[in-house]
């Protein structure tokens, strides 16, 4: 049993061992091992040329990674906190996302951009954002997020091995949750990177979640089972591309769907998923697709963040409303 954060550390270590072209870059990722210690001891073991402490300049980190990737390296960039990614936003959407298309397929940028995201840790302003929709909306980027230690270990390695740029969101409030991880399993046998997973089978309604909300959805399913309702929980895992076949198959069986995420609801991923389900599964639906999200306000102060974040009660309320139609 290891924590999600430690699983990421092991995954990064294995990627560094397997490919000498993998380099890690970011603020305090070296001697300190990162704010959350995800890169702990990696600089000591692999040297300052491969685990690089950068200046406090996110645009510079990503811009440097573009140049390294063009020269054949596989940079793994850490954005220290979610809200700090915006100084690098222009580099990501104008350079990283478009270089392959702009070069007519001649240039690939195998860059991984790691972003600890989401709330629940009592942090100050700009440290609890959920900006995933910005990047999932951008053609040319792949966007994924892990929800448990086993996925964290394999998904970070799969992302690094991908020849396309990957934005890798890490649910920071789950860093300390433990789970079983097979550190010796070959990566070739791992669950595919861009595939959704049924985290808990059920027959009465489908609850779709990702990252930090998967645990909330599973807890809601446990509570619902006490009242005789079997909720199927799907961990999306990949936000671009979304694995719609798994979603559609589930919703066609259950007839109901609830989408859960921390980010604000307006123009969020939940809206896109709800629209696609409605288009493809209309004649199977027993009720409208409902969303449980953060509110359409800036992320609040830590003392009231629990009022903002979707919780078990809000998910169960949505399920009840779905059955009330």
Q: DSSP label at 181? A: -
Mean pLDDT, residues 11-26: 98
Q: Which two tokens stand for residue 79?
A: 């954005």
Give per-residue burial for 267-282: e unless 16+ CB within 10 Å, then b.
Answer: ebbbbbbbeebeeebe
- Per-residue pLDDT, 125: 92
Among residues 10, 100, 127, 137, which one is catalytic? 127
Q: Which domains does the chain have, with CATH numbers?
A: 2-189 (3.40.50.970), 197-323 (3.40.50.920)
10 annotated active-site: no
CA distance readout (Å), 254 to 75, 140, 232: 42, 33, 8
- Per-residue pLDDT, 189: 86
Mean pLDDT, residues 268-285: 98
Confidence of residue 324 (pLDDT cuts 50, 70, 90): confident
- Per-residue pLDDT, 295: 97
Average pLDDT, the chain: 97
The span from the CA of 9 to the CA of 29, in Å, is 11
- pLDDT tens for each residue of 61-78: 999 999 999 999 999 999
Give per-residue burial for 131-152: e unless 16+ CB within 10 Å, then b.
Answer: bbbbbbebebbbbbbbbbbbbb
Percent helix / strand / coil, the chain, rounded to 5: 40, 20, 40
CA distance readout (Å), 50 to 12, 25, 98, 115, 245: 12, 8, 26, 19, 39
Residue 177, classified by CB atoms within 10 Å of its CB into exposed (0-12), middle (13-18) or buried (19+), is middle
What backbone torsions phi and psi does residue 72 show, to the nearest 5 degrees? 105, 0
Mean pLDDT, residues 152-172: 98
Q: What is the largest CA-CA distance in the chain?
A: 60
């Amino acid at each position: 049993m290891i924590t999600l954060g430690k699983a990421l550390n092991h995954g990064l270590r294995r990627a560094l061992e397997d490919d000498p072209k993998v380099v890690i870059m970011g603020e305090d990722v070296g001697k300190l091992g990162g704010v959350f210690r995800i890169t702990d001891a990696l600089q000591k073991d692999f040297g300052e040329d491969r685990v690089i402490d950068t200046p406090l300049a996110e645009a510079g980190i990503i811009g440097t990674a573009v140049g390294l990737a063009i020269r054949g390296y596989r940079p793994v960039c850490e954005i220290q906190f979610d809200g700090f990614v915006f100084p690098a936003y222009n580099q990501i959407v104008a350079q990283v996302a478009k270089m392959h298309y702009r070069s007519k397929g001649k240039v690939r940028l195998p860059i991984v951009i790691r972003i600890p995201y989401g709330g629940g840790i009592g942090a100050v302003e700009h440290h609890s954002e959920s900006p995933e929709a910005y990047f999932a909306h951008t053609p040319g980027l792949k966007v994924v997020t892990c929800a448990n230690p086993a996925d964290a270990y394999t998904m970070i390695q799969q992302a690094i091995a991908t020849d396309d740029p990957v934005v890798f969101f890490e649910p920071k409030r789950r860093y300390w949750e433990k789970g079983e991880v097979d550190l010796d399993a070959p990566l070739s046998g791992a669950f595919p990177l861009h595939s959704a997973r049924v985290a808990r089978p059920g027959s009465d309604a489908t609850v779709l979640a990702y990252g930090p909300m998967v645990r909330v959805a599973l807890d809601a399913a446990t509570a619902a089972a006490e009242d005789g309702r079997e909720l199927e929980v799907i961990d999306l895992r990949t936000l671009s591309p979304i694995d719609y076949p798994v979603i559609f198959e589930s919703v066609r069986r259950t007839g109901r769907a609830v989408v859960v995420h921390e980010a604000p609801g307006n123009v969020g991923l939940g809206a896109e998923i709800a629209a696609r389900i409605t288009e493809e599964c209309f004649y199977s639906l027993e009720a409208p697709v409902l969303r449980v999200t953060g509110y359409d306000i800036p992320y609040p102060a830590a003392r009231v963040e629990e009022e903002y974040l979707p919780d078990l009660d809000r998910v169960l309320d949505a399920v009840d409303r779905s059955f009330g139609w």
